[in-house]
Structure 1
Amino acid sequence: MALRHLSLPELARRYLAKDPLSLDAEERKVLESFKERRPISQDSVEIEEAQASFGDRLADQVAAIGGSWGFIISFGVILFGWMLLNSDILSHWNLAFDPYPYIFLNLMLSMLAAIQAPVIMMSQNRQGDRDRVAASHDYEVNLRAEIEIMRLHEKMDALLERLDRDDAQISR
């Protein structure tokens, strides 16, 4: 049977056993692509990246850098250098601009943490959005595959019925 002749409500009842009015957007999209015989798969990363703003991409970069071992090690070296410079080297000439207890260093670290934490949270929120897009897309692809399998079963059943009829006519 040609699918193009079936309406969306008929497809919904036949393959999803649902009232067409109760279809969600994903199910409607799957049935439309099924009826029109066009593929539904897409790369969910490309979909999400197309929707990302400059701030979103910047948050991802900051989180990627701030959460790396390279950043942690280099930041530790800088902190150790700062303390060594202000405690030992510059203090010999009374030029230490931030002597122990490193009040200016604490201020800088607090400011960095105040800025970095919300940016990392933005990146985590984006990851959650990415996961939701991927899950929705996976559902659509799985539903489409299930409908295609049901359609193939119908074709096989029709073919087997026709073969049985042909065998019955030959045996008479």
Structure 2
Amino acid sequence: MARISRQDTRLDAPKGSRGPFSARLGGRPSRDRFGRFTEWIARKMGTPWFLIGLTIFAAAWLIYNVTAPAEWRFDSAANGFTALTLILSLQASYAAPLILLAQNRQDDRDRVQIEQDRQRAERNLNDTEYLAREVVSLRLAMKDMATKEFIRGELRSLVEELDRDTTEERPVD
């Protein structure tokens, strides 16, 4: 059963006037919003601009901590640039799960798209089979239908028969 927060039970404040976090106090943030955020991060991490920016950041860090006066340095080359290593490790440790979350969301979307495509293909197949049955029934009906040549031939034979009958009925003078 879902818990209703005290803020949600207030009827004197319109729902829209509450802050974006007040309705979720104690709750989890929207999964969709977090999912979109992870996809945005994953998309940005996969660009050349991200790699260029990360390279510039690391180069600037190294250059500053090598060339700056000793008292201004915050990451020593003697210690193997420990702070830079920690920052890059932290970035990598967050990047991998964010990319996996984005891939999972894409897989879910792909599954939905595949199911919709399958349903669409099934409907198209059913429509095609229906139309094929209709065409076959029309062809069968056309075989039973009298053609123009058949009707002309029948009319000619009737006219000839009438002519014969009228010539036989005429008395010979």
Alignment of 1:16-165 (within 5 A): 53-91=32-70, 94-100=71-77, 101-165=80-144
Equivalence for 2:146: 167
Deviation digits for residues 51-71 of structure 1 (CA, Å, limit 9, x no counterpart): x71011111100000111000
- Find runs of 4+ consecutive structure 1 residues off by over 2 angstroms: 167-172
Q: Percent identity?
A: 26
Within 1, Cα distance between the matches of 2:53 and 2:38?
20
Within 1, Cα distance between the matches of 2:75 and 2:45?
25
Within 2, Cα distance between the matches of 1:167 and 1:147?
32
Instruction: Tell me which amino acid in the other structure corresponds to 1:124.
Output: Q
Instruction: Tell me which amino acid in the other structure corresponds to 1:116.
Output: A
Task: Give SS of 1:53's match.
Answer: helix
Instruction: In structure 1, list runs of 5 or more residues that go unmatched.
Output: 1-51
Deviation digits for residues 91-128 of structure 1 (CA, Å, limit 9, x no counterpart): 3xx21111111111111111111111101110011111
**Number of aligned pairs?**
119
Deviation digits for residues 1-33 of structure 1 (CA, Å, limit 9, x no counterpart): xxxxxxxxxxxxxxxxxxxxxxxxxxxxxxxxx
Alignment of 1:7-18 (within 5 A): none
- Scaled by the length of structure 2, what TM-score is found? 0.64
Instruction: Tell me which amino acid in the other structure corresponds to 1:152.
Output: L
Once the two structures are TM-superposed, the CA of residue 161 in structure 1 deviates from its matched residue by 1.4
Q: Could you say which structure has the greater relative contact order, defined with CA pairs below 8 angstroms and 6 or more residues apart?
A: 1
Within 1, Cα distance between the matches of 2:86 and 2:36?
28
